[in-house]
Chain A
Amino acid sequence: MKRVYVNEEWCLGCHLCEYNCAYANSGISNMVKALKGKEIFPRIHVEGDDKITYAVSCRHCTDPMCVKSCISGALHLEDGAVCIDRDKCVGCLTCILVCPYGAIAQDENGAVQKCELCLKNANGAPACAAGCPNNAIVYEER
């Protein structure tokens, strides 16, 4: 299956992926309305220092600890992608306790959110990869 991969040698640290992620998952068609003046809660995060930067988002592990550990049955696999049924999630944060990459976080309301490869929003494919100006984030089969 296609996944998001990052290459830190090419990352510029521009954080555009974070904005594209927040926009893609906002459900709002106008980028300015979706983002301007708002604190964003993207599902991808750039970390590093002034020399090395890279983006971290869900790795869609082949044997995901978060799915095995989810106490509510909310996290599950759909054709290899780790997805969350937010209606079932009770916000216990066990997934945050077990994700080795720190790729799962709380949204603005304290509920759990994670990268679902933009398969469930209007984008249909990861907005972070599509908008990465230096191909440091790609969406491909490996």
Chain B
Amino acid sequence: MKNVKKYVIIGNGTAAAGCVEGIRSIDKECEITVISAENHPVYCRPLISYYLEGKTDVERMKYRPDDFYEKNGCKVLYGREAKRIDAKNKKVTLDNGETIEYDALCSATGSSPFVPPMQGLDTVKQKFTFMTLDDTLAIEKAIKPTSRVLIIGAGLIGLKCAEGLHGRVKSITVCDLADRVLSSILDEESAAAVQKHLENNGISFLLGDSAAKFDGNTAEMKSGVQVKFDILVLAVGVRANTSLVSETGGACKRGITVDEHMKTTVKDIYAAGDCTESKDISDGNVKVMALLPNAYIQGHCAGVNMAGGSEAFDNAVPMNSIGFFGLHIMTAGSRTDEENGGQVFDESEDGNIKKLFVKNDKLTGFVLVGNVERTGIYTSLIRSQTPLSSINFDFLRKNPNLFSFSTNYRRKNLGSVV
């Protein structure tokens, strides 16, 4: 008798979709159960701001075609949450008490908005987070052309929310404890340029300031400034959903610890996506890199390994391509400076910002604002850790091109299957 394996995926986002495709690339027969807390088939989570902006709709936001689960032989349990993993007996208990057995399991549980305790927050009637399609639909329902919106957090989520709401509400104010926008990915100069562009488009900022307390429709900032609002969006940060794995004894810090095969420290339990932390090869530090590309790649990698194949993901770097009102920003890797034994090449010109960060003969990171043509050539240098002395970096840093590489490199990459 054939032994049909049973695989369980907790979560139904990008990492889960990658995991399904990874499993099916190896094992066509096994049973796959997807536990989906959200009542939607996998959708493109980063598109929620584009939805508010009117650049997409619920139908087009689907990450995969309608027959995805059917074609891949997946059983999806919508609206169900996993409550506990019994790693010893290899089963998962759901919120309705049902248990599901597994041979291998993947935690693709993502992250949740982090809402710090703030005085008087309970007096605010219209408050939202901005992480899911349901959050987005709720915000859309609440806003009116006369709404004044206050967004707490000038990170990627807060600012994309601001852009999405622009034109649909009366005013948008964004505050952040940090003294600049997108402080996790931009340096001061590029943050200032992006902030100015957002201000020119009608977004107001209160930076280096935070809400001390709320009273109904008023926020009192630490600086003493009072902000009147109708809608509050909390985009302070996110936290990886690690509890299911940590409760089984799996190692977790900020995210679930995984190796390059996406194995956790618990036998037959894998993890992928925003709930994990892994090594950023650009600076060697272990961190949560909650990005869609990493989620898919990790999910796929987990799936292949769960099904008995072999795949490794050992060159993750943080990277972002994000735009606001037509201004594109690309960043990848990590920044360095002279104090840390690195070098900064500032190639900014004609209003475009370009900074390349180099250390130990390697490109460790970059920040580009404005012209972003062919940036992937730089990203690839970071991910491949190419020694810069092996290419014509002086030419390459002016413009990304393949001419700065050896003839052999071009022959191999343009003249054969890659």
Contacts and interface: CB of A to CB of B under 8 A. Distances in A.
Same complex? yes
Contacts of A48: 403
Given A73-B44, A96-B374, A97-B332, A56 B402 contact: yes
B416 interface: yes
Nearest to B377: A102
B114 to A, nearest CB: 22
Contact of A102 (B297, B300, B321, B373): B373
Contacts of B332: 97
B328 A94 contact: no
A98 B377 contact: no
A54 interface: yes
Given A102-B402, A142-B416, 10 more contacts: A56-B414, A59-B413, A59-B418, A73-B44, A96-B374, A97-B321, A97-B376, A98-B379, A100-B413, A110-B326
Contacts of A47: 401-403
Interface of A: 3, 5-8, 47-49, 52, 54, 56, 59, 61-62, 65, 68-69, 71-73, 87-88, 90-102, 104-105, 110, 142
A49 B399 CA distance: 14
A59 B292 CA distance: 23
A105 B375 CA distance: 10
A92 B326 CA distance: 10
A8 B410 contact: yes
Nearest to A62: B417
Contact of A71 (B47, B401, B417): B47
A98 B296 CA distance: 14
Interface string B396-415: 00001111000100110111
Contacts of B322: 92
Contact of A101 (B44, B55, B376): B376
A52 B418 CA distance: 22
B56 A90 contact: yes
B380 interface: yes
A88 B380 CA distance: 26
B56 A72 contact: yes
B416 A100 contact: no
A73 B66 CA distance: 13
B267 interface: no
A68 B293 contact: yes
Given A96-B321, A97-B375, A98-B379, A65 B293 contact: yes
Give the interface size class of chain B: 35 or more
Given A73-B62, A97-B379, A88 B416 contact: no
Select the residue from A6, A61, A97 with max chain B CB neighbours within 10 A: A97
A7 B415 contact: yes
A91 B323 CA distance: 9
A59 B372 contact: no
A93 B377 CA distance: 14
Contacts of A92: 46, 50, 321-323
B240 interface: no
Contacts of A68: 18, 293, 296-297, 300
A74 to B, nearest CB: 9
B414 A71 contact: no
Nearest 8 CB-CB pairings of A with B: A102-B374, A100-B380, A69-B293, A99-B376, A97-B321, A94-B321, A71-B46, A73-B63
Contacts of B416: 5, 142
A59 B296 contact: no
Contacts of B377: 99-102
A87 B413 contact: no
Contact of A142 (B18, B413, B417): B417
